[in-house]
Chains A and B, each alone.
Chain A
Amino acid sequence: DAMVIQNPRYQVTQFGKPVTLSCSQTLNHNVMYWYQQKSSQAPKLLFHYYDKDFNNEADTPDNFQSRRPNTSFCFLDIRSPGLGDAAMYLCATVGGSNQPQHFGDGTRLSIL
């Protein structure tokens, strides 16, 4: 089955220690997204790629960066995680602007 896969499902890191979350897709979609979701809230868009074109949201902290080395893979790097960065991080893809997004199962990030 074509899908969006996020690794790891659960990640624990220390305050200030860099962490990388990964996402891969077999759908061959041009657009990939990273969302941050805190408890009982809607997903909040951090950034998205159209192919290699990177689009950063204005309120995404500088602490958060992303890489997309090819169509299939996308990474979220958090350079110096703070306690407020503990959340579920969701990756999604879409094949066209009126099509539904396809989501991975997310990575739950905990900060010690």
Chain B
Amino acid sequence: AQSVTQLDSHVSVSEGTPVLLRCNYSSSYSPSLFWYVQHPNKGLQLLLKYTSAATLVKGINGFEAEFKKSETSFHLTKPSAHMSDAAEYFCVVSPTSGTYKYIFGTGTRLKVLA
């Protein structure tokens, strides 16, 4: 069975400093992995996706993530935080073959301090 763990429920950074949001997954096969961002009263917006091509994935708004199979991790990073990055972030793993049920992490709330 697949699972995904977001290791931090809350992360605070100062504006202009790096962001690291951690995600570990468990899967019996090579999954696709996604990071989404959710601003207040909005839907989830795709930041980036890993689908078994390059292990370093670049997304929108300067975010990137590295798929590390040996560590079963897919951590999200950004070199320099902006105030507009303050939001909830979800790590999601693709469904088991033959189903369409995506598995969500519990989310990480990113706070950016001025």
Contact = CB atoms under 8 A, between A and B. Distances in A.
Contacts of A108: 41
A106 B42 contact: yes
Interface string B81-103: 00000001010101101111110
B101 A45 contact: yes
Interface residues of B, number: 27
Interface of A: 4, 6, 31, 33, 40-43, 45, 48, 50, 55, 88, 90, 92, 94, 97-106, 108
A97 B43 contact: no
Nearest to A102: B46
Nearest to A43: B104
Nearest to A106: B43
Contacts of A45: 101
Residue with the highest number of chain B CB atoms closer than 10 Å, among A4, A33, A42, A103: A42
Q: Is the interface of B mostly helix, strand, loop or mixed?
A: loop
B25 interface: no
B98 to A, nearest CB: 8
Nearest to B6: A42
B102 A101 contact: yes
Contact of A98 (B46, B94, B107): B94
Contact of B32 (A4, A40, A98, A106): A98
A31 B49 contact: no
A97 B44 contact: no
Given A42-B105, A43-B44, A100 B100 contact: no
